[in-house]
Amino acid sequence: VSTQSTGYITNNLRMFATRGLVTSAMNCARSVSHVTIIGGGLMGSGITQVAAQTGHKVTLVDLDQNILDQSTTRISKSLARVAKKKFGDDADGAKAFMENTMGAISTATDACSVVKDTDLVIEAIVENIAVKHRLFKELDSVAPQNVIFTSNTSSLSIAEIAEVTSRKDRFGGLHFFNPVPVMKLLEVVKTSDTSAETLSTLTSFGKKLGKVTVECSDTPGFIVNRLLVPNLAEAIKMLERGVASAQDIDTAMKLGAGHPMGPLQLADYVGLDTCCFILEGWSQKYPDVELFKTPETLKKLVAEGKLGNKTGEGFYKH
């Protein structure tokens, strides 16, 4: 056999082996039919909506029944907009869509009773590691061993959240973006303990939601926030140094880099308190990383209650 033929055969064997590994990884994904989402805020209700829309049975959990009532109302209004866009003048189709989706959603105030009969838990509560630890430690004691746990955290370590459980191999991150029904991206986060089956299951679930999934290791901010938040902070520091005005910084990045929003406009949109919280958390954990230092202007605006769009004033008046 010639050297050329040997190389051809070897390359093809490698190609088929790679395909086999990919197929094997995808085949190990477990089916997810019942999802439990904990936290009835904007993120929790958004995740609930997209999961129900895509044929999943969903239970939304919050300690406060009033929040659950507000969430279901929010979901119903959002679905009405989706139905109008999707079905147009087809009133019967829109009605069936609304009824089927809302019918797949139930609510509860006791998470422990719900997780006994679920496939996947998605936590979307306050960004506080102690609160998350209390929740997952309690859930771990009652949930069947096959249940996969995930967090929607945007800034905390998935491994640190998982450390209080006995299912570190069945624990990962599912980082959705707000507003969940609109934003296509889903970051699927793996720790060093996350099993191939868990990762495959979470990725497959994300695709069934209609999301574009990207896999990422457990690093501060994952992909998007790790790149984005320091960028926003640097824009604020540039403003502090008097390099340019807020408007000129934003204009430069919109027209020079093709960004739909400038960094200071985006900071206002995200919420200056959110930006500050993420940076403070990172700088406490990684004090030697200059990129994670919180700008003094950001601290000052947050202390004054000027949080951006949500309060009507931040770097801009809204």
Known catalytic residues are 154, 175, 187, 225
Residue 231: Cβ-neighbour burial (10 angstroms; 0-12, 13-18, 19+): middle
DSSP reduced 3-state for 34: strand
- Token representation of residue 114: 């719900």
Distance CA 168, CA 161 (A): 10
Whose tokens are 């999707």? That residue is 86
Q: Which residue has the tokens 């055969």?
A: 9
CA distance 278 to 220: 9
List strand residue ranges (DSSP E) for 104-259, in order.
Answer: 105-108, 120-123, 148-151, 171-176, 185-190, 212-217
Q: What's the length of the chain?
A: 318
Residues 6+ apart with CB under 8 A from 6: none
Q: What is the DSSP letter of 312?
A: T
Q: Which residue has the tokens 């190609």?
A: 15
209: tokens are: 């939601």
Angle between helices 296-303 and 272-285 (to 10 degrees): 130
Sheet holding 212-217, edge to edge: 105-108, 57-61, 34-38, 120-123, 148-151, 171-176, 185-190, 212-217
Residue 277's beta-bridge partner residues?
A: none
Burial of 214 (0-12, 13-18, 19+ CB in 10 A): middle
